[in-house]
Amino acid sequence: MAFTLNVNGQEHTIDAPEDTPLLYVLRDELGLHGARYGCGVGQCGACTVLSNGAPLRSCVVPAARLRERNLTTVEGLRGPDGAQHALHRAFVAEQAGQCAYCIPGMVMTAAALLKAKPRPTEAELRAALDANLCRCGSHNRIVRAIQRAAEELAR
């Protein structure tokens, strides 16, 4: 089945079975490897991307259902000139990742949060990340990184 997807501002024609999850299309068809396969059942958040600005677990949603959406992956947070987003810089500065497997999902969840609420409290931040799992226990550094990015974006 052929359909069109808008990913990171570009239109792509995809030819894949109707029930192919978005995550597989991103990684296998479009070569966008930022979103990760963790659990495959919508439980861990490693595959999180944005759909019209809202977090979406790309492992459980068929890509063909997302034809009318603007999809953003962690790669798409970069500026048009390739510049890193404040979240990218802050995660590096705070050494937020240990193995980093969860980090793209954390970054995308944080990007949606900061768009909706530029200066979240720590409690709001932790609540937003509650369903994003980090098996390395890096949550405190991840929270610090998002707070750092929020400060930079507010300047």
For ligand FES, the binding residue among 76, 97, 104, 120 (CB under 6 A) is 97
Pairwise CA distance, residues 5 & 29, whole Å? 11
Binding string, 112-151, against ligand FES, x = CB under 6 A?
----------------------xxx-x-------------
Number of residues that bind ligand FES (CB under 6 A): 22
Least distance to ligand FES, CB of residue 41, Å:
7
- Tell me the window of 75-83, 97-105, 111-119, 120-128 that interacts with ligand FES (CB under 6 A): 97-105
Amino acid identity of residue 33, one-letter, is H
DSSP state letters, the chain: -EEEEEETTEEEEEE--TT-BHHHIIIIIS---SS--SSSSSSS-TTEEEETTEEEETTTSBGGGGTTSEEE-GGGGS-TT-PPPHHHHHHHHTT--SS-TTHHHHHHHHHHHHHH-SS--HHHHHHHTTTS--TT--HHHHHHHHHHHHHHHH-
Least distance to ligand FES, CB of residue 24, Å:
11
Least distance to ligand FES, CB of residue 8, Å:
19
Binding string, 24-63, against ligand FES, x = CB under 6 A?
-------------xxxx-xxxxxx---------x-x----
Interface residues toward ligand FES, by CB under 6 A: 37-40, 42-47, 57, 59, 97-102, 134-136, 138
